[in-house]
Amino acid sequence: MSTNISGLNTLQDIRNMMEKSSRFISLSGWSGISAGICGLAGTWFAWQRINAFHAQANSASSQCIDCLKTDLLVIASLVFAAAFATAFFFTFLRSRRDGGVLWGPAARRLLWNTLFPMLAGGLVILRLVSLEQYDIIISVSLIFYGLALINGSRYTIGEVRYLGYAELATGLISLWLPELGLSLWAIGFGLLHIVYGIAMWWKYERTGN
Amino acid sequence: MMKNPIEHLNKIFDSRIRLGIMSALMVNESVNFNELKELIDVTDGNLATHVKTLEESGYIKVQKGFIGRKTNTTYSVTKAGEKAFKVHLDALEKMIRSIG
């Protein structure tokens, strides 16, 4: 009887260790929420900038499409950096609290498996900009981001996969609805992150567990 | 006559720490000393002793390298270690089934 219980405990220990060392489980729900807020703020800035551009188009002054391009790329980069930094911050706090391992093999694999597809997406977008194919940039960014999340979800909380599917679906829909581009962008990078973040916080962190 | 499953339990995996090291190495190509220390939550000396035992049994292999001037020792599981761990897990499973 007692060997049976110790056998069960041993199996549980093994399972815990395998989980802990292969999946990065400190990812905080707050990280999703903060990334979503950055996404919404970024969309708002981009929208302002595009409106300003169109207002100029109606006035006599000459349009500067390259200035718009540069500004939008700068906004996008800043949003990415801010979202990444705040997401990292909240995850850092959580791993401190849980006494988890922040930088280990699991974190490395998570970063590699999400950043690599995103890097490929970034190159595709730069090429699209140079080809002046602006219509599908938003779709492409959402699609690559979704694929990156699906790929990375094996190395962190499994539910990240569902966020990935949602991003991917949003991106595919926007392929046929380019006129809704910026709204779908706000949904994808803003709303979905916030909804996901709240759900994860509710499920894993609410009880302070 | 069914064989006693407990005889397949590996004495080397009796210790929680050694079991922890093996579990971590089974799902990672390699893990370095400090990462193992954090994962298992043990002192340097304690970890070093258990790592030595596993290494001497031929279950894990050690690669010594450098990151800058700091030594970076990484560990990975050997074929023999992988096999021994699986046998141990099977024995555990049988043991639980036989009683459960």
The CATH number covering residue B64 comes to 1.10.10.10
B53 and B59 Cβ atoms separated by less than 8 Å: no
End-to-end CA distance of chain B: 19
Q: How many structural domains compose chain B?
A: 1
Specify the DSSP class assigned to residue B7.
G
Give me the domain span that covers residue B15: 7-99
Structural tokens at position B38 = 């954090």
Is B17 domain-assigned? Answer: yes
Residues of A in contact with B28 (CB under 8 A): 21-22, 105
Per-residue pLDDT of chain A (209 residues; tens, 9 = 90+): 455 667 788 888 888 888 888 888 888 999 999 999 999 999 999 999 988 888 876 665 566 888 888 888 899 899 999 999 999 999 999 888 877 667 778 888 899 999 999 999 999 999 998 898 888 999 999 999 999 999 999 888 889 999 999 999 999 999 999 888 889 999 999 999 999 999 999 998 887 54
Residues of B in contact with A8 (CB under 8 A): 96
Selected residues 54-93 of chain A with any CB under 8 Å from a CB in chain B: none
Structural tokens at position A118 = 């995103």
Q: Could you give the CA distance from residue B59 to residue A54 in angstroms, rounded to a whole number?
A: 68
Looking at the complex, report in whole angstroms how far the Cα of residue A88 sits from the nearest Cα belonging to chain B.
Answer: 19
What pTM was computed for the model? 0.77
Task: Collect the ranges in chain B with pLDDT lower than 50.
Answer: 1
* Predicted pLDDT of residue A52: 86
Do B39 and A3 count as a contact with CB atoms less than 8 A apart?
no
* DSSP string over A136-185: THHHHHHHHHHHHHHHHGGGB-TTHHHHHHHHHHHHHHHHH-GGGHHHHH
* Predicted pLDDT of residue A96: 84
Chain B touched by A22 (CB under 8 Å) = yes
Chain B touched by A6 (CB under 8 Å) = no
* Predicted pLDDT of residue A100: 67
Helices marked H in chain A — which ranges?
A: 2-22, 29-58, 65-98, 105-130, 137-152, 160-176, 181-185, 192-200
- Nearest CB to B100; choose among A4, A10, A18: A4
Phi/psi at A10 (nearest 5 deg)? Answer: -60, -45
Considering only alpha carbons, which residue of chain B is nearest residue A5?
Answer: B96
Do A17 and B96 count as a contact with CB atoms less than 8 A apart?
no
Chain B touched by A21 (CB under 8 Å) = yes
Q: Is the ipTM of this complex over 0.90?
A: no
Do A18 and B26 count as a contact with CB atoms less than 8 A apart?
yes
Do B19 and A101 count as a contact with CB atoms less than 8 A apart?
no
Q: Quick one: which of B12, B16, B7 has its CA closest to B98?
A: B7
Is B1 domain-assigned? Answer: no
* Predicted pLDDT of residue B18: 94
Looking at the complex, report in whole angstroms how far the Cα of residue B7 sits from the nearest Cα belonging to chain A.
Answer: 13
* Predicted pLDDT of residue B94: 85
